[in-house]
A and B are shown apart, each in its own frame.
Chain A
Amino acid sequence: MPELIQAGPPSARLLFESVLDDSPADMGWSSCGKWLAAAATTGIVHLIDPVAGIQVNAWHAHNDGVLTLRWHPTSPMLVTSGKDGHVRLWQISDTAPAVLLAEIALTRDSANNWIEHLHWRPDGRQLAAAHGKNIVLLTADCQPQHEYTFPGGTVGAMCWRPKGAQLAAAGYGGVRIYNVLDTRSKVQDINWKGSLLSLNWSPDARVIAAGCQDNTVHFWRLPELRDAMMSGFAYKPVQLNWSNNSRWLLTGGSAELIMWPFDKKGPEGRAPLTASFHQDAICAIDIAASGQRLATGCRAGTIAFWNQIGDSQPGMTAQLDSRTEHLAWAPHKNTRLLASTSRYGTLSVWDASVQ
């Protein structure tokens, strides 16, 4: 008897795969889209040319492990931080090993030497680094400019105002916004009695959203600080991704992809869009530069490629060997390349072109 078998979404094509020497600490594409850098918790940074299918370079960047890597927004430079208290700036090229351009020890206090957050100012002129409750502003060549002390203990997250010179830091007790062009200017405090773990500013700079320890998302409209909260997440909703037009906020922390409408009057009193595909909580999200394609990865290692925000089913899928750690679309407008890392250290590049 013939039977009807319902076909699931097709699998994305695996373009490149490499196994890092340990779990991945961070991963990202260069601004030109040529290279992909992935750092393992051991301290080794791997530089990949995924289109050529080769590992261009690998080098030991930090003793005791890398925590963060960030490509410069416009130049072939990579900045890394680690558990050794150092920030290091690397020049990347095809023809030579990575060149250490600059390094700075932000702390020699071995009780507090994890530099957990690094963020380039959107124009690439400054770099903000956070270790413990300290935030250090650095020039583009890693020279210290100013240091702030965050009032709520250890900095849990940081982000820059899009196209601006304001830096937001979050932790226990709320958000503090610094004007980095005038370090003596008054800071803006957004108080919230809770522990904030992630932070993301909408591209139109009108809303700042935070993922919280108590499995909620809290957001504030600027400048009036009108706030609201979303709850009901199974896990901590650390993933907060804005659509390019600021109309949608996508959140992880549950098996359903939840898309909160921020057009018109916002999400208050309106049901969000949801897409049910994953069998386990979503722990990685990335939206492509085009603003259309998006990818989600879950704790069970499944990746879903969605053609656009609002789709109820993914167009393609992929399966990793373990929990999804990072997802990143290549930065080109029309890219179909998505990089992923898994908890077991597998770095993959997927081609999501229609086959």
Chain B
Amino acid sequence: MTDQRIPVTVLTGFLGSGKTTLLNRILTEKHGQRIAVIENEFGEVGIDQDLVINADEEIFEMNNGCICCTVRGDLIRILGNLARRRDKFDRIVLETTGMADPGPVAQTFFVDDDIKDEFCLDGIITLVDAGHIEQHIGSSTEVMAQIAFADLIVLNKSDLVNSTTLASLTGRLRDMNRMAQILPANMANVPLEKVLDVGGFNLDRALDTNPAFLEPEYPFEWGGIFRLKAGDYILAVDTGPDPDMSAIWIDAGQPQVELTELAEHVFRHFSHAAHPVGNADLITASDTHWKLQLASPIALTLQAPRDGCFALFTQHTPEEFDIRLYDINDQLCEPVTAHYFNANHTHDDEVSSVAFEFEGTLDPEKFNTWLSFLLRTDGADLFRMKGILAITGDDRRTVFQGVHMLFDNQPGAAWGDETPYNRLVFIGRNLNRDYLEGALKQCLS
């Protein structure tokens, strides 16, 4: 049965990040949906709109013993009223203030039964200003929460920063929130279908909306396959944020090879001892783990011993170190395919996300006891969690999600012939990856 409830999209973002620009796009572009708007910042909707409601942000604590369970009283009141007019609109967009914590908004949809019956939280969209977000991350707990809660992060005004900064920002945001999709944009020009049908809080769609969070963590951020004639090539690398950089130059074999497949092979070679190389050194196509010395810009010779496909994997993105490959005629060689990987380095942000995937089934009693303890003790620091669990004795997947101390789960598809596994992501403040992983594995039957 399809969900008959009214979807609610929440737009968050610091002042000047482009929330209103995106809201006005949502209201003016043709998408066939009638939209009611709840605004917490007065008077910024630039067009005539029948249903614009201005709300005073009213946060209050639920009197239910949950210390971090705060909800938005204004939302309960306004949504309760809008429920009577549900045939007049198809969707609600809530624009929060720049300083709003999305936590109480999300929790409202978990704890209020009347709201749950009539409305579903479709997604939290967080806009960030690419030019200023670095300074905000460091200084604003609200911005950190907005990033941590997001299902979609729109990296707006990305035309105002260079590609190196953009790549670095993307990595930093990815570290903070692996669950969210990150889209660079100018003037908030993201495709509206990405904004209006996120399904971020829909357990039926729990894992089909986040391409990166369960991708393994690789020791390299970028890989590219080049189709080359046999011969020597020049790899030019500028200086960057680090004094050296790991890389592997390898024969990719068949032309149709998948880069992600190759990454699995290359992955283990990065753990081997590295061979330092500097300017004018020769690199042969092999499994060797090279460490490029980058005290100053260098140019290396890369060998292609035959006509065919060769792959380069680098610890950092080409944008960060301006990495280029030239043939002997100084012609730039473009990769036929390239991929940005989920690197496991961190920026030491207070907010981060950790993801786990492991086989085996969890003992329900042990897991419930541990999770209850975790939520009770660390719930205030856990912004969101989401995943699929394999529970001993249950032949179906258990899909779950949580916001702070609030937790929701439902049975998913049967495992069938598939080996049961567990996939989880936690987004929070001061997460201890080793502790979480160890505790989770202790719950295995």
Contacts and interface: CB of A to CB of B under 8 A. Distances in A.
Interface of A: 22-25, 41, 67, 110-112, 114, 116, 132, 153-154, 156, 172, 193-195, 212-216, 234-236, 325, 343
Contact of A193 (B61, B77, B85): B61
B215 interface: no
B219 to A, nearest CB: 49
B54 interface: yes
Contacts of A193: 61, 63
Contact of B58 (A23, A110, A154, A343): A154
B102 to A, nearest CB: 20
B56 A195 contact: no
B56 A112 contact: yes
Contact of B60 (A22, A41, A195): A195
A253 to B, nearest CB: 10
Q: How large is the interface on B (under 10, 10 to 19, 20 to 34, 35 or more residues)?
A: 20 to 34
B56 A132 contact: yes
A343 B86 CA distance: 10
A23 B85 contact: yes
A111 B60 contact: no
B84 A172 contact: no
A195 B112 CA distance: 12
Interface string B43-74: 10000000000111010111110000001011
Interface of B: 42-43, 54-56, 58, 60-64, 71, 73-74, 76-77, 81, 84-85, 88, 112-114
Given A154-B74, A234-B113, A110 B84 contact: no
A325 B84 CA distance: 10
A216 B63 CA distance: 10
5 contacts: A22-B85, A25-B84, A153-B73, A154-B74, A236-B112
A172 B58 contact: yes
A39 to B, nearest CB: 11
A235 B116 CA distance: 11
A198 to B, nearest CB: 12
A41 B84 contact: yes
Given A111-B56, A112-B56, A213 B84 contact: no
B113 A235 contact: yes
A67 B78 CA distance: 12
B62 to A, nearest CB: 6
Contacts of A153: 56, 58, 60, 73
B113 to A, nearest CB: 5
Contact of A214 (B62, B81, B84, B85): B62
A172 B60 contact: yes
A195 B43 CA distance: 29
> Max chain A CB contacts within 10 Å: which of B55, B56, B74, B88?
B56
